[in-house]
Amino acid sequence: MTDSRPIGVFDSGIGGLTVLSALCCRLPEERFVYLGDTARLPYGTKSAETVTRYALRAAAFLAGEDIKMLVVACNTASASALPTLERELPMPVIGVVTPGARAAVRWSSGPIGLIATEGTVASGAYQRAVRALRPDAQVRSRACPLFVPLAEEGWFDHPVTRQVAEIYLQDFAGGVVDSLILGCTHYPLLRSAIAAAVGPGVHLVDSATVVAEEVAERLTGEGILGRGEGGIHLLVTDAPTRIARIAAMILGDDTPPLQLVDLSA
């Protein structure tokens, strides 16, 4: 059995393109509709109630695009809104927190570091997901709010980004943790600056490939795999020209044109 409907992927901005990229590699025969809610970014500094409201609106919009599955490629929305999205939507919904925790536990044998948005850290979602897999795990967390605008600016390995990373991550350097969860989909874009700040002994955990694997398993399990030519449709809620430049830095030359959509309509 196959299903040619697209998979919806959603983030507050361009960060979720790191997950989309992994999904396209793992599932080249699937079509994807990506929605970046750039008009409301950042989500990470907002309350759980506001993030849940935004996430529900974005999910309803994607549901209107006849998607067969929703990937919440935003840790902040996954941490605050996943149970509500699962309850409200008729299709399978996959978040990024549990796959990220699974990847961290697989890589780590000691204390685990977590960097994420203020909302994700405050929610305790990662801490719970890690301890569900390894009850005695120690998780040290730190919110890094400036990483999101630096990534949205395309300053992936800029001297300013390196300096900000050194300040934020000084408590994780020198073997204090053996792995560091990049608990925001924007952070893998700053991988080199983050790696330089924590040093070579710390494994950086990016949930994108684990999420892509989980999506593949779920599609197979539900009997809704696609068998087409694949493709991406990119939607944003603000500043498509500006975002197109950054999207091309992540997705490369094949980046399709971005379409502006209005979620308030």
Cα–Cα dist 173/202, whole Å? 8
CB nearer to ligand DGL: give 5 or 242: 242
- The residue with its CB nearest to ligand DGL is 44
Q: Is 184 a catalytic residue?
A: yes
CB nearer to ligand DGL: give 120 or 161: 120
The contact pattern for ligand DGL, residues 93-132, with x = CB under 6 A and - = no contact, is ------------------------x--x------------
Interaction of residue 11 with ligand DGL, rule CB under 6 A: yes
Tokens 């070579």 -> residue: 200
Interaction of residue 76 with ligand DGL, rule CB under 6 A: yes
With a CB cutoff of 8 Å and minimum separation 6, the contacts of 30 are: 6, 7, 23, 24, 219, 225, 226, 228, 230
Q: Confirm if 76 and 12 have CB atoms less than 8 A apart.
A: yes
In the complex, the smallest distance separating the C-beta of residue 6 from ligand DGL, rounded to whole angstroms, is 21
In the complex, the smallest distance separating the C-beta of residue 69 from ligand DGL, rounded to whole angstroms, is 19
Q: Is 24 a catalytic residue?
A: no
Tokens of 209: 């490939």
In angstroms and rounded to an integer, the radius of gyration of the C-alpha atoms of the chain is 17
Interaction of residue 12 with ligand DGL, rule CB under 6 A: yes
The contact pattern for ligand DGL, residues 35-74, with x = CB under 6 A and - = no contact, is ------xxxx-----------------------------x
Interaction of residue 207 with ligand DGL, rule CB under 6 A: no
For ligand DGL, which residue of 15, 100, 226, 240 counts as binding (CB under 6 A)? 15
The contact pattern for ligand DGL, residues 128-167, with x = CB under 6 A and - = no contact, is --------------------x-------------------
Catalytic residues: 74, 184
